[in-house]
Each structure stands twice: as structure tokens, then as C-alpha cells.
Amino acid sequence: MDTALLDYELPRELIAQRPVEPRDAARLLVYRRESGEVEHRVFSELPDLLADELVVVNDTRVVPARLRLRRETGGSVEVLLLERLDGAGVWEALARPSARLRAGERLGPVRLLEPIGSGRWRVRLDGRPDGEPPLPPYIHEPLRDPERYQTVFAREEGSAAAPTAGLHLTPALVDRLEPVRVTLHVGLDTFRPVTEERLEEHELHGERYRVEPEAWARIARAERVLGVGTTTVRALETVARTGALSGRTTLFIVPGFEFERVDALLTNFHLPRSTLLALVMAFVGIEETRELYRLAIAERYRFYSFGDAMVML
């Protein structure tokens, strides 16, 4: 697939800079795949749109992973913790400006161990992460409440970014939907655009996931499954193919992919040239997705992490 198909033009003012209040006041574009029907609703109406779908969410919790540090020379360094590698404080991290840094250097609570390419380092952190929420670079406003970059059902800390489709769910909606929880810790790939000319040439880094046996038993016997977010979909489709309830997944979902366990998808509007947009195209079709995005732009939907959502039934 030509990666250019993942491109689209988005007016800058449609990039959401803050979450709406309350969470479920976001707009919801509804697309019914069989009929092609489109509706414009509000997220709080989601339960009324579903029939017999079992709702599955990703309950990962975002690490306060953005550390603003100083070198002994006084220069500023930003370290973004991506993934805990062991129980002794070793992490994979992004550091910048990376080219100026040296192995063995101490940056406050962080010691640089070794570079591993593309600005990434193995580092050792003293204590627990105690930084800022790792907001994406397209969000320029400070977040007043760090919990707004967490889902209300976030549990095990381990992600470098939020599973953003789940940010719209309130405790009341969780009570109504009674979702099943799986865990996939969002890693480096959230920050990496597709730069190759052919989508198939893009390489995914692995991300850790876990699905409890009781949860998978419910998912396996469900008549229909609604995956809340692309990370949930990757976890479910990985288990459906491998049978492994935990591990690392490098599953790359692109157009032509045959979904084995996900029947409906709820997700936000994604960046151009992103693997997340490729997954949406795999689910509803390339041209169908491009047309839905054109419609969302024309209707002034809000895009990206704090933006509105789309459900494909």
C-alpha cells in the first residue's frame, strides 16, 4: 500500500488542545458498515447505539514519564520513559538532545546506560517516575488535571501514551456498558510516523500485553465484540491468532487484514501517516476511511488525543 494514502490535510484549529468536560460530552461520528449510514451523535449516547456487542477496553495506566532534567553542565535534557525493562529501575527511554549525551552521564535521578538508536537509551531511574504526563507534541496547552490523560478505569501503570478512545468513558458509562478489561502498554510506536513509501516496509516495535483467562473466556464466546481503541484491537487480534494471553505483540494491522475477534471499533481521529489510521482503514476500507475523515473535517470534529470519537458498527 502506498503510504501517501494515509495523508490528509487537517486545519490546525481542529487539533484538540484540551479535553471536553464532562468526558462523555465529546461528539461521536457513527458509521454503519453494512448500510454506509452516518450519524452525528454525542458520546454519552453510545450505550443506546449498541445491540449485543461486548465492550472491551484497555486498562493500562500512563506513566508520568516526561522528565525535564539538567546536565551537570547546566544544559537542559528531556527524558521520556517508554517502557520498564526490569524490576531494578532500568527503562527504555527517548532522550533529547540525544547526540550530546554520553553513556554513564547522570541527569538527576536518571543515569544513561547505553544508546540503542534513534534517540533511544537504556537508562536507570532512581525511585518511581515522577514527571509530567507525556502529552503528544501537537498539544501545546498545559494539562490542568493530569488525571484527564488517564481513563477512569486505568489500572496497571506502564504506558507512554493514553489509550485515547477510552478517555471519553465516565464512571456512569462504565456501569452501563460493563466492559471487559485487557491490558496493552502503549509504547514507542505511538510517536513514530510511517516514513517508508510502502506501508508494508514499516517496522513495529513490540508492546507488552496481558489478557486474563476469565476475560478471554467472555470475549471468545461473545456474539459481537466492540474494541475501544486501536490498542485494544491489537491485543484481541493477537490473542485470537496466537492463543498467548500475555507477551509482546508486533501485530501490524493494515488493509487486507482479516479480523478474527473484533466486530466493531470505537476510536478517535488519528494523525496522517500513522499506523493507527492504517488500522482503521483495515477495518472499514481505505476509501471509506478517507471519506469519513473528509466528512469529519467538514463537520468540524475535533481531532487527535483530546478530540472527538468515531464508532464503526
169-201 tens-digit pLDDT:
999 999 999 999 999 999 877 667 888 989 888
CATH number, residue 72: 2.40.10.240
Same domain, 277 and 153: yes
Residue 131 falls inside a structural domain: no
Q: Is residue 279 predicted with pLDDT exceeding 80?
A: yes
pLDDT, averaged across the chain: 95
Q: Would you place residue 88 in the very low, low, confident or very high pLDDT band (cuts 50, 70, 90)? A: confident
Q: Is residue 61 predicted with pLDDT exceeding 90?
A: yes
Average pLDDT over residues 213-238: 98
Q: Is 206 helix (H, G, I), strand (E, B) or coil?
A: coil
Q: Is 57 helix (H, G, I), strand (E, B) or coil?
A: strand
The Cα 42–Cα 50 span in angstroms is: 14
Same domain, 168 and 220: yes
Same domain, 104 and 244: no
pTM more than 0.75: yes
CATH number, residue 203: 3.40.1780.10
Other beta carbons less than 10 A from residue 277's beta carbon: 23
H or E element that contains 297: helix 286-298
Quote the percentage of the chain above a pLDDT of 70: 99
Residue 225 falls inside a structural domain: yes
Quote the percentage of the chain above a pLDDT of 90: 91
Residue 32 falls inside a structural domain: yes
CA angle 229, 235, 236 (to 5 degrees): 90
Average pLDDT over residues 217-238: 98
Same domain, 180 and 265: yes
Average pLDDT over residues 272-301: 97
Name 231's Cβ contacts closer than 8 Å, sequence gap at least 6: 58, 60, 163, 184, 186, 207
pLDDT for the residue numbered 190: 65
Q: Which residue has the cell 486545519?
A: 11
Q: Is residue 118 predicted with pLDDT exceeding 90?
A: no
Average pLDDT over residues 291-295: 98
Boundary-marking domain end, from 125, 151, 167: 125
Take residue 105 and report the three cell numbers written for it.
Answer: 552521564
Same domain, 229 and 307: yes
pLDDT for the residue numbered 199: 86
The domain of 101 spans: 66-125
Same domain, 14 and 91: no
Backbone angles phi, psi at 173, to 5 degrees: -65, -40
Task: Tell me the per-residue pLDDT of 7-20, one tens digit each, with 9 for 90 and over.
Answer: 999 999 999 999 99
pLDDT for the residue numbered 65: 94
pLDDT for the residue numbered 203: 83
Mark 88-104 as b/e (b = at least 16 C-beta within 10 Å): ebbbbbbbeeeeebeee
114, HSE (Cβ side, Cα atoms, 13 Å):
1
